[in-house]
Each structure stands twice: as C-alpha cells, then as structure tokens.
Structure 1
Amino acid sequence: MVGLTYGQEASQWQKDISEAQSAGIDGFALNIGRDDTYTDAQLQLAYDTAASASGFSLFLSFDMADPTKPWDVNRVSSLVNQYKSAASQFKVNGLPLVSTFEGPSWSGNWASVRSATGGIFLVPDWSSLGADGVGAQRSIIDGAFNWGAWPEMNQRTISTGNDVAYQNVLQGKPYMMGVSPYFYTDLPQYNKNWYSTSDSLWYDRWKNVQDILPEYVEIITWNDYGESSYINEPVQSQIVSGAEGYINGFSHAAFRFVLPYFISAYKAGNTNVAVPSEGAVAWYRTTPASLNGCSDGGTVWGQSGDASASGGTSNVISVIALTNSPTSITVSVGGSSQTVSASDTIGKASFYQVPFDGKTGAVTVTLNGRSTTGPEITNNCPASGHINFNAVAIQV
C-alpha cells in the first residue's frame, strides 16, 4: 500500500516501482483520501509510470476511515472509470479491483458505483465490523481485505485466528491478508500514540501467510512513516509533521531483503523454493524500552491499550536469515559478541533474537563470514524526551 505522496515526482514513482519489483512485489494499492489535494496528479503519475514497468499493477484503495466526511458516489465512479482501462490496472475476471480502508457505512453506495462503471471487483477492508460483520455483508462484496496485520493490545505475537475467521465467513470468496513489518505511532494531533509488538512480527506474519495461503497478500505499507510500517527509505517530504523524530535515521528498506523468498514460497504454496541470495535482515531499537529519566511518552501497548508500550517489547536484536542450510549468527553490541542458533525455522528462513540488555554501542551482525554494522544502541534519551519505539533495519 502506497499513500501520502504529496509532491512526488515521476522519478520517485520510478524508483518505488523498480525497488518493489526487485523485491518480488507485483503492484501497489493506491490509498487515496477524499480531501487529498494531490490525488489527481499523483494517480496519473502512478499509472503512467507503471505502464512502462512490465507486469506491475495498480488499484485504487479509497480511504473511508472518517464516516463524517463521506466520498461522493460520482467522484468514486469517475476515478474508477478514469483508470479502469489503464494498462497497469489490476483486474480480476476482467473487472478493476477496488479496495478501501474502512467505510462500512458507505456500503450501500457500491451498487451505484458498479452500475456507473460497468462493474468492479470489490475487496474492501471493513475490519471494524470484525469477521462476522464482514460475513454479513458477503452478498455485496467480491472478497475482503483484513487490516489486522499486527498483534492486538497486550499480545506479543499474532496468530492466524482472525485470518481463519475471515476465510470461513467469506465462504470461498477471495481473502486479502494484511502483512506488516512494524507499528509505532506518536502523533498527538491525531490522538495516535501506540506501539504494536513487532519484535518478531515480520517473521511471524510471513509464517502465517504460509499457513493460510490467501488469494492475495497486501503489505501494509510501502511508505506510511507516521505509523512506522514502511519498507522503504523514508522520503523526507512525505513524513507526517511530528513523526520526524522517530523516522529520521531509521531506515526500513532492509526489510525487503527477505521478500523475494517469502513471496516465492507463498506463490508456490510451500517453502521448498530457492533462496535468491543468502543473507539476513536485522532490526532493533536504538534505546532500551525502559531508561531512567526517559519516559514512555504516554505510548500504550496496542491500539486502545492502557499498559505502557515498554511492557510490549524486549531489548533484543531480531534477525531473519535466508540460508541454504542451517547456520548460526553472531551479533556484537559495542564489541561484546554472542553467537546464537535459530529459535525457529520455516523452509530456508530462520529467526534469531539476541538480547542487548545493558549493552551499548554499534551493532554488528555476522552471517557466514559477512558482516554489517548498524547504528549504535545508547542509553541516551532521545531529543523528544521519551523512548523511540521505532526500529532501524539493516541488511547483511
């Protein structure tokens, strides 16, 4: 999912699409808000750029999270009609796929959109209804997208229970499964300040995908910096005001390293696929979850949670390694090294965690003789005066 593309030029679209294709991603869901003044210009740039990228597709995803500001039916229909015949438009059964972020109160309008456009393949996210609520709307949708890609409040890992529930209520209609690497937001102007446990999320969720094998997988997100769920190098002009302190210097581009393998395994329906390149991704916070004189900043553990985020994460360096045979890794923090074996393995992907409690300094991860050094872990309180729960990702 791509959004918040204010001021983006064609060169950035070219870069984004090229990097996405290199990671095995087949297309972008274009998240558009009703009041985004840049929507028309950016949609045209996106579709024009994707047209020259062989095999790369796009579809519209209408942001309908605020029911007090509903989309106009004619506006939605007009946008669908404008791009439904574009060379890069993603279609199912000859119809343009259309999605949403929320919007169940708008559900009665989709019949009019279908009529005005000659038909759409509607796969909305109405996660606020829950799986049963979505199932009750089954007759008016063609599939469903589940936004639940993170552990719930006060939970450290994510299970497939909600995914199974969606598949059950859809009764054979396509299921689009949400996958995400991380979540942390601290935007008081939007009343958003929470962290979802992400210490093992990128590994856990791809393992979930292999268990569920849904019809579609949507990665949430490509560039939502305000919620720390991005998998690219932050673009300064697209960082939401107030998020700079926890985004600048915290690249997530390395998360993409494991995608070619996990995507190939998903498409094959099994993990016995080739490793495109041996290596690893490691991610970690640069400060401990608790630090004397440095508060949690009011950050809660999970959306609507009431416990501190500091209880929802461990002081660890997490690693996913792709290797053709099992191996150990070595992690050094400030020159103090520890060699560990994998705690879990699926196919040729192995997961490791190394604690850094009490250690500070640069982080070096070594795999099969190859090493990468990332930013230092420190006991210094960030300039904000509270813990930054975002992580930096590095590739080995």
Structure 2
Amino acid sequence: MRSISSLLVALALSPMSAMAAREVFAHYMVGNTYGQTLDDWAKDIQLAKAASIDGFALNAGPTDSYGEEQLDLAYQAAEANNFKLFISFDMLCCGTWDVSTVAKFINAHKDSSAQFKVGGKPMVSTFEGTNFVSQWSEVESSTGQLFLVPDWASMGPQTFATHLDVVDGAFVWDAWPLGTTPATKTTDSDNQWISAINGKPYMMAVSPWFYTRLPQYSKNWNWDSDTLWFDRWESVIDVLPQYVEIITWNDYGESHYIGPIRSQGIVSGAEVYVNNMPHDAWRFILPYYIAAYKAGTRDVTVPTEGAMFWYRTTPKAVCGDGSTTCGNAGTGGSAVNCVRDSVFVVTASNTATSVEVTIGGQGKTFSVPKGVKLVELPFSGRVGDVVVKVNGKTATGPAKITNSCPSSGYVNFNAVVGSTS
C-alpha cells in the first residue's frame, strides 16, 4: 500500500495537478496579421497582459503565405514578454491541413518558453476539423506528446464523447445565444459538454458581440449580443471551467474584437462597420472578472473602479437593415428583432454608489451595489453624446448617437465601446 507522502508526490507530478491553475486566452486571427511587425505583436501582448489575459490562441490557416512568419514573430514577442501561446489550427476556413504540415507548425514552436504546456505537453487546439480526428495520433507520433483541446463543436457533446481516447479536453465555439429570436445565453450547453467529457478540462468560450456583413462569404447576420459580455462572464464564475477562451482579439469581420483596430487586418467589406468603432474598452472589466474566475468567487476587490459602456450609434429602424438576419439561420427575421436601442453600462466599484448615464444631456441616475452591475438606458428618441459619470470619473463615448442613416445605406449593428479609464 502506498504511503500518504508517496501519494502526494504522485499527485504533484500528475497532469491533473498541472491543470489546477485556471487560465484565460484570447483567440487571435493570424490570418488578419498581414504586414504585422514584431513591435505590433509586442504591443498587443502588453495590452492583453494589462487586461490579465494569460495568452493567445493563435488561429492559423494552411494557406496564409505569411502565417509561418507571423507565428515566428508572435512567439518571439511572447518570449520577451513572459506571455503564453498555443496554435489553434483553423480546419474550416481555407485549404486543407495534412499531418506533416500540422506537425511542422507544432515542432517549430513546442520548445519555446512561450509555448503553453500542460503537464509538460504543448497545448494544441483547433477550429473544427472533424475530418481530421483519426490523424491526430500520427501528428503526435511526429511531434512527441501533445495536449489536444480541439473545437469539434459541430459533433455535439455525445459524439465528441466517443473520441475521449484522442483528446485531452474540449473547446466549444459556443459563446452566443443560438436561438433566432432575442435570447440570453445560458450555461445549458456548457454543462452538457462538461458532463460529456467526463472530467477532462473544458475551455469555455466567451465573446462580447457577433455582427458580420460579408455577402461574398455568405455571411450576413447578427446574434443577440446586447448584454452578452456581462452575461457570459457572470456564467464563467458560475461554471468555473478549467480554461476560458475569448472570441476574439482581432476578428474584425465578425465584430467581436477586443484588441485595437489594425486597418490591414480588416477583411474587404467590413470597413464600413468596423472603422471608427473601437472595442478596446471592453477589456476594462477583465482584470476583475479574471481575478474572480481564478479565485472562484465574485467577492474580490475591483482593481480599477469605474464603468465601461457600449451602444450602437443609431436606432435600429433609422434605415434599412442591409438584409441582416437575426441569427445565421435567418428564421428569426430581420436583425432588428434581436437588438435593443439602449446604452449598456457595467459599473465596477468596491462600495455601493451611483452612476449617471445621459444621451445628449438627458438620462438617468442609477443606484448600483458593490461589485459589478449592469444597467441600461434606452435611447427613447434621445441623440447626442453618451456620457457616463461614476465614482468621480466622467467619460464620453467614442461616437454620438444620431438619427442619420450611415453612409453605407443600412444600419450598422456593430457597437462602439467606452470606459471611464
């Protein structure tokens, strides 16, 4: 019979003990990095670290001529800034991966000090790739040990569970309400996946928004995202998954970027709804929520008191909807059916306080409790500057609310985001 001390040593050396620390990553589209420099990578890493993000999941496609060069720069910058990375192989977007190419990408970076590892194994993920399942054993033979946490969401949890001998965990690209009418994202799907993977690590997807209008790619929809950034982080504290992956740092075409806008990374056609629509301030609340997630409780000190806020810059009925649907299936009708004309504000305070929210000088003062609170001010016909005042701090939003149709000729369902710091 093993002694207590030998059992403790065994547990300390086990992969599960190595997984004990919760980690937060942001999904980073390498395909949007054409012309990006080492300094650009370093700046993004520093911004992410300031928001308490632990690393980037580097979405890499097989046909990006500059992809390998950009991965090299990413790892070089991460090594210099004590930041973690892992590759997420995009197996749906473009082209076809083969075993030798996947292995080459992994082998190029697996020994980097920036490579995120679990129990000494380099983390690897995917975006889909259900036709590649049987080939991962060959990849492992060519690379050594892997810690594979793929996104095979299209399988569903029950089918995924038949492949637990292949994977080390599950990532699920499921951060938005999946109904085609207004809905709040629940944790039902997360719980189904957690149950199906039988104790293996779960990487939970969190996203602030989803609007895309790229007809050339058959993409023209808007998910109900009005309060999603708040709702989903609240759900993270309820679920306490092993890992969290934010979707995304820089996918401008789908409007869920939380990093700075780089014009060279905007896919053609998305400029009309991305330019001058900053989202950086969505990072304001991350130090609080990530601290709470890692501590396993909401009862943590708010690192920076203040507020963040977001809104669309016109009422939803100011002009045509651009044929944008509510949900990608379109059965919910027009996107106007799943958005509210409101300014959404999240306050963060270590004491009970009040927050004043105005549009064009008219609005309301809300009483808010200690901690984090969401409040909402409907447009109600008001136009002008959006101003938020809380804890002695005042911030004006990045853009005015107007009753003028955008120059595109249709409503922009993307949001602008501001904060008091």
- Find the aligned partners of 1:367 and 1:285 in 2 and give their Cα distance: 21
Q: Which amino acid letter does the alignment assign opposite residue 269 of structure 2?
A: G
Distance 1:31 1:90 in 2: 15
Matched, 1:47 2:70: no
1:163-192 CA distance string (max 9 Å, x none): 000100000000000001111000011010
How far does residue 380 in structure 1 lie from its aligned partner after superposition? 0.6
Q: Where does residue 14 of structure 2 map in the other structure?
A: none
Amino acid at match of 2:71: L
SS of the aligned residue for 1:140 comes to coil
**Cα distance, 1:38 vs structure 2:** 1.0
- Which one of the candidate residues 99, 107, 118 is aligned to 1:73? 99
Take 1:137 and 1:94, find their aligned partners in 2: how far apart are those partners? 22
181, 186, 202: which one aligns with 1:154: 181
Structure 1 Cα separation of the partners of residues 372 and 162 of structure 2: 38
**What residue identity is the alignment partner of 1:254?**
A
Is the 1:193–1:300 Cα contact (8 Å) retained in structure 2? yes
Does the CA-based 8 Å contact 2:182-2:339 persist in structure 1? Answer: no
Q: Which residue of 2 aligns with 1:276?
A: 303
Q: Offset at 1:245?
A: 0.7
Contact 1:252/1:393 (<8 A) preserved: yes
Residue identity matched to 1:16: D
Structure 1 position 21 matched with structure 2 position 44: no
Aligned AA (1:17): I
Instruction: Percent identity, please.
Output: 49
Q: TM-score, normalised by structure 2?
A: 0.91
Distance in structure 1 (CA, Å) of the matches to 2:265 and 2:389? 33
Q: Indicate yes or no: 2:393 matched with 1:395.
A: no
Which runs of 4 or more aligned residues in structure 1 lie more than 3 Å from their structure 2 counterparts after TM superposition?
none
- When residues 341 and 134 of structure 1 are mapped into structure 2, their CA distance, relative to the original with a 3 A threshold, is farther
Distance apart, 1:325 and its partner CA = 1.6
- List aligned pairs for 1:56-71, cutoff 5 A: 56-66=83-93, 69-71=95-97
Q: Which residue of 2 aligns with 1:366?
A: 389
Q: Match of 2:320, as an amino acid?
A: S
Asked whether the 8 Å contact 2:177–2:224 carries over to 1, the reply is yes
2:61, 2:95 within 8 Å by CA — same for their partners in 1?
A: no
| In 2: Cα distance, 1:99 partner to 1:143 partner | 9
Superposed CA offset, 1:276-302 (max 9, x none): 1101110000011112xx111111111
1:130 Cα deviation from its structure 2 partner: 1.6
Contact 1:285 1:377 in 2 (8 A): yes
Structure 2: how far apart are the matches of 1:244 and 1:389?
Answer: 13
RMSD: 1.2
User: Which position in structure 1 is the counterpart of 2:140?
Assistant: 114
Say if 2:305 and 2:391, in contact at 8 Å, map to a contact too: no
Q: Is the 8 A contact 1:92 1:121 kept in 2?
A: yes
Task: Structure 2 unaligned segments of length 5 or more: list them.
Answer: 1-26
TM-score (norm 1): 0.96
Q: Deviations over 1:2-55 (max 9, x none)?
A: 11211100111010000000000000000001111111110000001100112x
Kept in 2, the 8 Å contact 1:156–1:313? The answer is no
Q: CA deviation at 1:95?
A: 0.6
What is the deviation of 1:358?
A: 0.8
Residues in 2 aligned to 1:23 and 1:234: alpha-carbon distance in whole angstroms: 17
SS of equivalent residue, structure 2 residue 148: strand
CA contact (8 A) 1:185 1:192 kept: yes
Shift of 1:348: 1.1
Q: Which amino acid aligns with 2:419?
A: Q
Partner of 2:409: 385
Q: CA-to-partner distance for each residue in 1:297-316, whole Å, 9 max, x for gaps? A: 11111121221110101111
Q: Where do 5+ consecutive residues of structure 1 fail to align?
A: none
Q: 1:378, CA displacement in angstroms? A: 0.6
Matched, 1:305 2:330: yes
After TM superposition, the structure 1 stretch with the greater mean CA deviation from structure 2, 223-232 or 149-158, is 149-158
**2:53 & 2:152 partners in 1: Cα distance?**
24
